[in-house]
Amino acid sequence: MNLIPNGIDHISEELTVLEPNSDMNLISNVIDPISKEQSVLEPNLGNLADFPSSKHGRNGYSFNVFLLQVISGYSHLFRNSPLYCFWVSYVPFVILKKAEAVEALISGTKHMQKGWSYNWLHSWLGTGLLTSYGSKWKSRRKLLTPSFHFEILKDFLPIFNEQSQILVKRLQKETTKDSTDIVMPITLCSLDIICETTLGITIGAQENSDSQYVKSVIRAGEIIMERMVNSWYWIDFIFNFMEAGRELKHHLKILHNFTLSVIYEKKRKLLSGDPNLGSQRKRKALMDLLLEHHVQTKDLTEEDIREEVDTFAFEGHDTTSMGMSWALYLIGLHKNVQEKIHEELDRIFGDDIERPVSTEDLKDMHYLDIVLKESLRIKPSVPIIARQINEETVICGYRIPKGASCLVYIHDLHRDESVFPNPEKFDPDRFLPKNSVNRHPYAYIPFSAGPRNCIGQRFAIMEEKIVISTILRNFSIESLDQRDKIPPAPELILRSSLPIRMRIRPRQRRQS
């Protein structure tokens, strides 16, 4: 049996082979090399000895920015290995970065339990579809899967289109400004979409970003992310007595009460025979479907419904909004790509910038489709997924002991040079059918893969296409900072460490 390559035996002066003008060219200028002697003197740090200890030493960037870059440096060192071991103090993490290793871990039903870091979401999401495992996960997945059938999703097209048009009106106010941080407008649009499709209510986040629900959604997510990177916050007893813990409890109470109030009101109407919630209604939000199941079978409690609705409200807006933000940023960096998208949209819609996007239009957006795929390759919304190993297993000839934590490092999996030559280059043509033949099915997994793949990936793709196509039918965009100026920070999702500044202008169409 092979020994797992061990990151603790390497030193950071070897972590400097990085592509120019990429997300990763910051580390070689900032991290001071550490000698083997220093590594021996600080064994309790593990590979964390490669991190600058102060924010000044990190040029002002957060710890998370360097987490991504240091792990990417090790992935380069072990580029010929399917996996390696990264130590956080005395805790080992097995990092998988080759398609065959990833397939061995997540393709079957043997390793279905998420990593321990997901436990921090329990206070918000309970044990819904994202965090549950075993029989509970299996029954919930079976129950929820029909809700994401394409024929069901088609009924949500009017919501996607309506909210996209509201976003366009908001962005029109930005066309006279020198720059706009695109993340918040996109996030509020996505939040409106997910609340209307999941809860079946309109919260008007785009028109009222000061609403308490919107503030609590955003702030609760921020605090949970802060907890992940602050070891003092890892211990529940300590965290709950700290200011951040008390603030999180406050916001979660607001969110849970809001969701439960909607559940109680909809249940009351359903039991009273309100025709708006009956079987005659064609378009049903996820909550409506769960409530009907609750009333008819008693299998789900009201708390079970809250778990799933909150899970989709959290997952469905956060991952998709950053996916769209990164896609717009990359499109704004590459004028030739943007021109091709504009040409495709003009062929589909002509000069009509208000016609709603139809399912047939979505099928015709071939170039935009491969642009979004390439964007998710370079900037996967979820950069890392974790699994707990509950029985000894062998992956690519390496023995993984029971109790180990395995991390699928999607960010670097998508940068495997043997699969994606010149991986830092933004090249949508990689995903043309002729260039995708014989590609390993686990080499590109922006929505994970296997039994625990993202149940909402069709929803996300549909939303991204409609929102981005609506924006680009109306505007030309220009990204103002190169990729090395805004290095990404991995949290539960891949965020920007700095504002994503764009210049937005009305489109100037060519005269025929």
What is the pairing mode between strands 475-479 and 501-506? antiparallel
CA gap 58, 60 in Å, rounded: 5
Residue ranges for the known binding site for heme are 454
The two structure tokens encoding residue 402:
């029971």
Residue ranges for the known binding site are 454
Asked whether 390 and 113 are in contact (CB, 8 A), the reply is yes
Asked whether 309 and 349 are in contact (CB, 8 A), the reply is no
Among candidate residues 145, 162, 142, 141, the one with its CA nearest the CA of residue 153? 145
Task: Please tell me the total number of residues recorded for the chain in this structure.
Answer: 512
Asked whether 164 and 475 are in contact (CB, 8 A), the reply is no
Q: For residues 38, 44, 47 and 53, what is the CA-based torsion angle, rounded to 10 degrees?
A: -70
Asked whether 324 and 190 are in contact (CB, 8 A), the reply is yes
C-alpha dihedral sign at 10, 13, 17, 21: positive
Rounded to 5, what percent of the chain is helix, strand, coil? 55, 10, 35
Q: Which phi and psi angles does 33 have, rounded to 5°? A: -55, 145
CA gap 82, 408 in Å, rounded: 11
> What would you measure as the largest C-alpha separation in the chain, in angstroms?
75
Residue 491: left (phi > 0), alpha (psi -120 to 50), or beta? Answer: beta
Q: For residues 88, 89, 93 and 95, what is the CA-based torsion angle, rounded to 10 degrees?
A: 50
The two structure tokens encoding residue 167:
């976003």
